Chains A and B, each alone.
Chain A
């Protein structure tokens, strides 16, 4: 494989909270190849959304970024503001979780869809409109011409998310950053929206970084899965190997704690303890306090990603046997 489209190396992020800096991402090493779909999975607060935002440098003022982000050879942390704008408008498009909050409520759908094309690409309005109407039809929005004149409050959540997807595709990016694009939708709409994203990607050879807390969904739509815990990537493996070959105890525990449709009656197996925030992590492995396999060294020595099973895991004692939770 040639050089990856996106690579994050030793990514760390600190945000200013009440005047002092607080670490929210410790160590993220991640690559996304051309046309590849990578699922970034983790609990709320594990830093997955901020990882995606770091790629676009869409961070609050005063944020301190560490490590390297390279997109198509370009170093993102070093780029100036005008290069950054061009980068955002042409290379990567982000699909946000809640379209109702992320689409300006007082402007029309047509305005939202064409804004990028008209202001950053200099496309004439007519041409931009024709293009986005075609895209709306492609993502399954019937009556596209009428929708263009409507406002967000007149559309359902599922329709609005399709509008968001169409807007992302309009930019003709190389990479989609999808930040829990189906979490705010009901279950049947979720499946439709995922299918639309999948189809559009296949047709265009688009790469995707798919952020979700749903392991099964990530395994179904992605080529590779990266699991995050308390601000670090703890395991990175091919989606097909997730169920049988995952090596990190946290991944195994996540898989075990999920209810399955097949078996009934058994109580859910929760991971004991509570998830740590990134800033609470001490010297050792962040998962050690909750890990059934933890040894004394786990509390003093922090593991980094190294080959394990079919991928790599940040664990001193990796193994694919089910942990006794």
Chain B
């Protein structure tokens, strides 16, 4: 187990290191001079002013030196200054990250609850119920997030006024009022994935031979379902749920923009439009990191759920 853990953590560190180089490097390939942003549009830029900005922000240093300075800052928790916002990136993030975390957490809860329930019920009930559960989840998978977002905002926000169509509030009631529609929109297509995987893996376990053994021993049905069907199906269900939740960190930008939520996803879009390199780099790195960390967690839990993953089967 400890060896497994060690290789996974080492892999994680390597991926993050490579990602940080790629993120930092690709931003430098973007056209345009960040210094011109500070000077402002309209007038032709004053070469001396540009040169002084370049000196102040070390824009002329070699790539390795700049990368190293950035990386040491990041490792100490300092993402540097944002040129476009004239603020520290840390401050920009701190104001917004809790909104994003709440939104992603809310959406994750919806995905797990609805997806697993729908999939399990479909597989256990069978017949028409299963057919319609499959159709619903296949439909959910096909709807793009921005479409369902607009639809939800119009129906439940504007027409029915059950929830706020946009903006953000504080506290639990605020989260419920302002974040329910975005969370549903964010969760929607992933619910389909989780429901489908849950349904097929529960179905496969229901037909498996070890379940026949349990039935042959007269174990009551609920016990068979819980200890043999759901327990054994939990590996793939957990894996796809983990990927779904990791994927939310990327799609959250769309939903935050659509519902006017001040989160880091919306900040990423704005910062990219303003060519604010430091902010884009910071958020990209955070997203990659959360994706990789979540995936590693999924691997660990999968290994804990199925003892065969760690030790390998005998030949």
Contact = CB atoms under 8 A, between A and B. Distances in A.
Chain B associates with chain A: yes
A151 B310 CA distance: 12
Contacts of B306: 105-106
Contacts, number: 84
Contact of A153 (B208, B219, B228, B308): B308
Interface string B190-218: 00000000000000000011101111111
Interface string B211-246: 011111111100100011001100000000000000
B314 A94 contact: no
Interface stretch (A112-120, A233-241, A314-322): A112-120
A101 B217 CA distance: 16
A156 interface: yes
Interface in A97-149: 98, 101-107, 115-116, 119-120
B231 A171 contact: no
Q: Please tell me the size bucket of the interface on B.
A: 20 to 34
B305 interface: yes
Contact of B313 (A58, A86, A153): A153
Interface residues of A, number: 30
A58 B308 contact: no
A98 B312 CA distance: 19
B209 A116 contact: no
Contacts of A93: 216-217
B307 interface: yes
A151 B307 contact: yes
B10 to A, nearest CB: 26
A101 B209 contact: yes
Q: Main secondary structure on chain A at its contact with chain B?
A: helix
Contacts of A106: 231-232, 305-308
B127 to A, nearest CB: 10
Contacts of B209: 96, 98, 101-102
A94 B227 contact: no
B218 A105 contact: no
Given A151-B307, A153-B311, A153-B313, A115 B214 contact: yes
A85 B217 CA distance: 8
A153 B313 CA distance: 6
Contact of A85 (B218, B228, B232, B305): B218
Contact of B314 (A58, A115, A120, A153): A153
Contacts of B313: 153
B218 A116 contact: yes
Contacts of A88: 215-218
B208 A101 contact: yes
B212 A120 contact: no
Contact of A115 (B215, B219, B231, B232): B219
A116 B308 contact: no
Interface of B: 208-210, 212-220, 223, 227-228, 231-232, 305-308, 311-314
Interface of A: 56, 58, 84-90, 93-94, 96, 98, 101-107, 115-116, 119-120, 151, 153-154, 156, 167, 171
Given A89-B218, A103-B210, A107-B228, 4 more contacts: A96-B209, A96-B213, A119-B223, A151-B307
Q: Which 5 A-B pairs have the closest CB atoms?
A: A89-B218, A88-B218, A101-B209, A85-B218, A104-B210
